[in-house]
Amino acid sequence: MPPNTTATSGDKPGKSGRKKGRKARLVVLVLVLAVIGGIAFGAYWSISTVRASFPQTKGSITLKGLSGPVTVKRDGYGIPQIYASTDADLFMAQGYVQAQDRFYEMDVRRHMTSGRLSEMFGKGQVKNDEFLRTLGWDRVAKEEYDTKLSDSTKNYLQAYSKGVNAYLAGKDGKDISLEYAALGFTNDYKPEQWTPVDSVSWLKAMAWDLRGNMQDEIDRALMTSRLGPQQIKDLYPDYPYSRNKAIVQEGQYDELTKTFQQSGSTSGSGTSTGTSSTTTSSSTGSALTSQLAGLYNVLDDVPTAVGVNGQGIGSNSWVVAGKYTITGKPLLANDPHLSASLPSVWYQMGLHCTTVSSKCQYDVTGYTFAGMPGVVIGHNGDIAWGMTNSGVDVTDLYLEKLSGDGYLYDGRTKPFTTREETIKVAGGTSKKIVVRQTADGMPLLSDRDDELVQVGKKASVDTAAPDRGDGYGIALKWTALDAGTTMDAVFALDKASDWNSFRAAAAQFDVPSQNLIYADTKNNIGYTLPGKIPTRSSADDGSIPAPGWDPKYKWTGYIKQDELPYEYNPERGYIVTANQAVIDKDKYPYTLTTDWGYGTRSQRITDLIESKIKDGGKISTDDMRQMQTDNSSEIAKLLVPKLLKINLDDKDVRDAQKLLEGWDYTQDADSAAAAYFNAVWRNILKLAFGNKLPKELRVKGQCLWVDKIDSTGPVDDDTKVRECGERDADQAQPDGGDRWFEVVRTLMNQPNSDWWKTPAGAGDRNKADNMNELFKRAMVDARWELTAKLGKDIDTWSWGRLHRLFLKNQTLGTDGPSIIQYVLNRGPWKLSGGEATVNATGWNAAGGYGVVWVPSMRMVVNLDDLDKSKWINLTGASGHAFSAHYTDQTGKWADGELLSWSFSDKAVDDSTSDTLVLKP
């Protein structure tokens, strides 16, 4: 069972509960239930057992390997601030403290990144391990550690590992975490020593879930089985640059070389989506469709790390210059949108040298990941920074023509490089697999699905493709499969002191590519785009899988760091990043991606800032907080005026329609209007688009009678076949995000478009021939959907009753027996907000209303007085289920509140509840 699996709710069961294979994932839990059921449960889980793993937070502990004493001060929420006299002691203590709070989480993560989940959870994880071994994250991490990282970074990683291992010394599993006690009934697994590579590997998991447009590549290709090129283009409209502003408006990129300017053919700046789609899809036919459907199933089963398997990844960050703030110094806000997990993916802490000097260089606080030293997002005494996913295209899928032990490239058969991997299985027999890679290091993902092999052998193709021989395979090109320097960047950011040192640090942040915003105490603000970003030939824009046998689809290089966009002290006085386009395509010679977020959140944030500063207004820290919790629905502003004009015959439906009269488009948890509108929106999408998509994109179990198709396309004889959806509810399309906002906005100018036409419902009910008729049918369907879910009385309706957050323990709380889930899981919380809203409590319109991704943390940094900065985490500092700090921040997070964030020695002392001294 995957770590951090997204909890879903509403009318569709969660992803984990639906997977056939996942029912067997933790067979051990069935045995656990048998052993600990009833009275046995109460007897075993005694208070002493539960508390055995709680960390010591007061008094002193002797820690072998320290050069001097280290003080750990925790506030009332258990958030630690560490004080040491050397860098080595500081990071050793960080490892010890994180292991105290979160070692089980750390252990699961490293088993995931190394493809060793089966060692903990048994045979149900073998398929996942096979795929993760094929990607080889831990192998790349080891190469990074051995060949790329600086000596100082290696020293910090070693010190951190030493601290983790000092915590583990002499402890049994039950002394470390409750989950180990449960596993101990059927598994003799014992935690092993932590290594520096375990920490570096986590960056690969982070990069995987922030990898860009791979899912869009797959989806576009899958659509070709049902939709034509223009229909697919309708569903991927152009980015609205004139309405939703790009991040970089007044900034620049350094002057490009004459060689580039004279050679546009290698810039990757071509916009050949249509050509690429035609070439690839016609060359592969059903081979591409079938194999990509199989590949999607493999990808979807991979454990979620920090995102939603590439879907719904977003974030907000913005910075306002001092000329527009009450304090006269910048304010910086950030809230990354990630999967809901328990414990939260983030870990709050401060790392302080008692005296900053050459032997102890850090005084930094913020958010990091349990299992990794340093601080990833936060501030030090001079600067603050935040991150959002840039979404640039750093992955490509290639269809490979296989022949024997090789693959076709440029008219010749080239051999694969291979390696054998052994997967150890708790309670079972080890399994050996062979991983194949192309000459330039692309792993053959299709080897991990038996069905894909057969499809590749049998799939029909046209004459434009090479003879299939032994079949077709699918390989992955991804920047994170090359060794990089992101771990160096983390430490460099932590001690950066000005714009130049910040930019130099950011340049090392090669994977994943992130939007980095900046502010400093000297009243400067900025933005920079770092990352290892490929260039492609004019034949390929990276939007769909490419024919691997054709050399013109090979990457041509990488954009130089000094050619990437940045902005420093723009005249407008603020910078907003929320996954929108980085820079207008007409102002930049490279194609960064064809799949930006469509800018709904970013433009709303911009509008909120502009409305606040007009006529000389100033922005406060609390104003920034209120912007983070803005619940306004931009799609409602567009649709509601249309919906109110529709004549409805049914009184009950008219009563629901009246909810929209005077509604301010705010999606508060107690809003009946928000509940009804979102149900209408969901039904508009289902009727206009969802029912017309291929089964590979529709919700699993959703069955429709559709036109029959064969290898050449639809059969023109009115033959209907029953097709059932194949995708999990939290990953299906249309998901209702701001791409779909743009699709609907565009098609509203074409009220007679075929998209608005839909056959009659049951009993010839409400057939639609145009937009207004479809809207009317959606309003009727929404009324009766909510009647079934919430009751007939609309006075009892509320958005929060539909839009709920469940927090599930990353492993045993996902698929285990109800008694285990009861012990480890928490919720539900009724949430405000929604999809493509600043308060981005995301839901998937195809699958239901339950929350699938969230603002995983929120922070506002006050550069005038750092002690007046604010922060909050999704859950709490602790990973121990019965700790007071397991979910003690969640209620405040749900209400949009922020906690005080102490930084100075005095502020930390004033907020300290527990003090622990680590002695050498």
Share of the chain above pLDDT 90, in %: 68
Q: Are 678 and 667 in contact (CB under 8 A)?
A: yes
Rounded to whole angstroms, how far apart are CA atoms 678 and 684? 10
C-alpha dihedral sign at 460, 466, 467, 468:
negative
650-672: pLDDT as tens digits: 999 999 999 999 999 999 999 99
Q: SS3 for 793-852, per residue?
A: CHHHCCHHHHCEEEECECCHHHHCCHHHHHHHCEEEEECCCCCCCCCCCEECCCCCCCEE
Rounded to whole angstroms, how far apart are CA atoms 540 and 556? 11
Rounded to whole angstroms, how far apart are CA atoms 538 and 218? 21
- Residue 311 pLDDT class (50, 70, 90 cuts): very low
94-128: pLDDT as tens digits: 999 999 999 999 999 999 999 999 999 888 889 88
What is the DSSP track for 12-50? S--HHHH-TGGGGTTHHHHHHHHHHSHHHHHHHS-HHHH
DSSP structure class, residue 254 = P
β-bridge mates for residue 768, sequence order: 758
The yes-or-no verdict on residue 376 having pLDDT over 60 is yes
The yes-or-no verdict on residue 255 having pLDDT over 50 is no
- Residue 524 pLDDT class (50, 70, 90 cuts): very high
Rounded to whole angstroms, how far apart are CA atoms 678 and 687? 14
**678, burial (CB in 10 Å: exposed 0-12, middle 13-18, buried 19+):** buried
Higher pLDDT, 461 or 716: 716
822-860: pLDDT as tens digits: 889 999 999 999 999 999 999 999 999 999 999 999 999
Rounded to whole angstroms, how far apart are CA atoms 320 and 125? 47
- Residue 33 pLDDT class (50, 70, 90 cuts): very low
DSSP structure class, residue 869 = -
- Residue 339 pLDDT class (50, 70, 90 cuts): confident
Q: What is the mean pLDDT of residues 701-715?
A: 73
Give the pLDDT score at 253.
Answer: 67
The yes-or-no verdict on residue 272 having pLDDT over 70 is no
Give the pLDDT score at 317.
Answer: 98
The yes-or-no verdict on residue 279 having pLDDT over 70 is no
- Beta strand extents in 270-327 (DSSP E only): 314-320
The yes-or-no verdict on residue 494 having pLDDT over 70 is yes
Rounded to whole angstroms, how far apart are CA atoms 865 and 521? 9
Rounded to whole angstroms, how far apart are CA atoms 193 and 107? 10
Looking at 412-485, list the stretches that DSSP marks H as alpha helix, in order from N- to C-terminal side. Answer: 450-458
Phi and psi (nearest 5°) for 121? -120, 0
Q: Which of 369, 435, 483, 419 is nearest to 141 (CA)?
A: 483
Q: How many residues are present in the chain?
A: 920
Give the pLDDT score at 265.
Answer: 33
The yes-or-no verdict on residue 22 having pLDDT over 60 is no
Give me 10's structure tokens.
Answer: 């509403």
Looking at 498-579, list the stretches that DSSP marks H as alpha helix, in order from N- to C-terminal side. Answer: 499-506
The yes-or-no verdict on residue 40 having pLDDT over 60 is no
Rg, C-alpha atoms of the chain: 27
C-alpha dihedral sign at 816, 820, 825, 827:
positive
**306, burial (CB in 10 Å: exposed 0-12, middle 13-18, buried 19+):** buried
Q: What is the mean pLDDT of residues 641-651?
A: 97
Rounded to whole angstroms, how far apart are CA atoms 807 and 852? 10
pTM: 0.90
Rounded to whole angstroms, how far apart are CA atoms 677 and 684? 10
- Amino acid letter for position 394: V
Q: At 336, which helix (H) or strand (E)?
A: strand 331-339
Give me 558's structure tokens.
Answer: 């990488």
**Strand bridging mode 347-353 / 80-84:** parallel
Phi/psi-derived region of residue 316, left when phi > 0, alpha when psi is between -120 and 50, beta in every other case: beta
The yes-or-no verdict on residue 500 having pLDDT over 90 is yes
Give the pLDDT score at 46.
Answer: 58
How many other C-beta atoms lie within 10 A of the C-beta of residue 819?
16
For helices 771-790 and 634-644, what crossing angle results, to 10°?
A: 110
Give the pLDDT score at 314.
Answer: 78
Give me 841's structure tokens.
Answer: 């409590």
The yes-or-no verdict on residue 466 having pLDDT over 80 is no
- 414 three-state secondary structure: strand
Q: Are 619 and 609 in contact (CB under 8 A)?
A: yes
Give the pLDDT score at 186.
Answer: 61
Give the pLDDT score at 546.
Answer: 82
The yes-or-no verdict on residue 15 having pLDDT over 50 is no
Q: At 363, which helix (H) or strand (E)?
A: strand 363-368
Q: Are 798 and 670 in contact (CB under 8 A)?
A: yes
Rounded to whole angstroms, how far apart are CA atoms 476 and 214? 10
Q: Which of 249, 101, 31, 39 is nearest to 888 (CA)?
A: 101
- Residue 28 pLDDT class (50, 70, 90 cuts): very low
- Residue 7 pLDDT class (50, 70, 90 cuts): very low
| Mean pLDDT for all residues in the chain | 86
Give me 59's structure tokens.
Answer: 């008094």
- 483 three-state secondary structure: coil
Rounded to whole angstroms, how far apart are CA atoms 483 and 487? 11
What is the DSSP track for 56-79? P-SEEEE-TT-SS-EEEEEETT--
Q: At 408, which helix (H) or strand (E)?
A: strand 406-409
